[in-house]
Amino acid sequence: MTSLALHGVRGGLGRSALLAALGYALQGMGERVLLIDLCPSNLLGLHFNLPLDTSEGWALAEREGRPASDAVYEVLDGLCLLPFGNLPGSSRHLVPDALAWRARQAELAEQFDWVLFDLPQPLADSAVNGIETDVRVLVAEAEMASHLLLGRRPVEHYDMLLVNRYDPASRLQSDLLMVWRDLFGERLPIQVVHRDEAFLEALACKAPLGHYAPQSLACRDVQSLAVRCLTRRGP
């Protein structure tokens, strides 16, 4: 089992949609995948057609003294999803317990080839989430805020830099990508995912990108990402 998480240099980079698309792509390659939503916003399940009013999730199960495995949905053969769940308003700020998740990862090791975590964006002054994964992907967009925040990250802690929503027609974006290749290219592989309306439409249709628009440019990019991930697959 190999665990993976997408870390954003800032929020709002489309990580949940990317993670849903990556999970779907890995499942399409014959991998057994579990997607875990650690974000209290509880949106990941919507990419896999879960009803909007679904309250079940690991956080709700935990609160009610049930095992988290109660809340696992098998959304496709070999593709399972563990939503965060919908907690009553007062307890929405639940912080995932890194130690508990480490123990759960060990339990899941035999059932899945991949466990993909959708992490909440940590506050700027707080420590990183604490969830340890085998593969750590840093996500940015080719714009200046990402550039400045990227400069504050220890890039050697990550396995890959994913440039999301890339528009090659933009002079600024192509310049930034060139500078990043120059700055980081030797230390950090860079994966580009092109800006594509299909990403937005896919969520509107409650499907992961690869299901909604298998021929789209962004879908091909995500498949490249999945192939790269396979090279890091553990036993």
Residues within the interface to other proteins (CB under 8 A): 144, 147-148, 151, 171-172, 175-176, 178-179, 181-183
Give 144 or 200: the residue with its C-beta nearer to other proteins.
144
Q: Write down the least CB distance from residue 228 to other proteins, Å.
A: 20
Give 72 or 142: the residue with its C-beta nearer to other proteins.
142
Distance of alpha carbon 112 from alpha carbon 91, whole angstroms: 30
Q: Write down the least CB distance from residue 154 to other proteins, Å.
A: 10
Please list, in sequence order, all residues whose beta carbon lies within 8 angstroms of the beta carbon of residue 69, skipping any fewer than 6 positions away.
none
Distance of alpha carbon 193 from alpha carbon 168, whole angstroms: 11
Measured in whole angstroms, how far is the alpha carbon of residue 161 from the centre of its chain? Answer: 13
**Taking a C-beta distance cutoff of 8 angstroms, is the pair 54, 44 a contact?**
no
Distance of alpha carbon 185 from alpha carbon 94, whole angstroms: 37
Give 74 or 175: the residue with its C-beta nearer to other proteins.
175
Q: Identify the sign of the CA torsion 26, 56, 84, 95.
A: negative
Distance of alpha carbon 218 from alpha carbon 227, whole angstroms: 14
Give 81 or 142: the residue with its C-beta nearer to other proteins.
142
Give 179 or 200: the residue with its C-beta nearer to other proteins.
179
Give 94 or 177: the residue with its C-beta nearer to other proteins.
177
**Taking a C-beta distance cutoff of 8 angstroms, is the pair 196, 217 a contact?**
yes
Q: Write down the least CB distance from residue 5 to other proteins, Å.
A: 23
Q: Write down the least CB distance from residue 143 to other proteins, Å.
A: 11
Helices (H), the chain: 15-28, 58-63, 98-108, 144-150, 171-184, 197-204, 209-212, 217-230
Which tokens in the block code for residue 173?
Answer: 């974006």
Q: Write down the least CB distance from residue 135 to other proteins, Å.
A: 23
Q: Write down the least CB distance from residue 7 to other proteins, Å.
A: 18
Beta bridge partners of 35: 81, 116
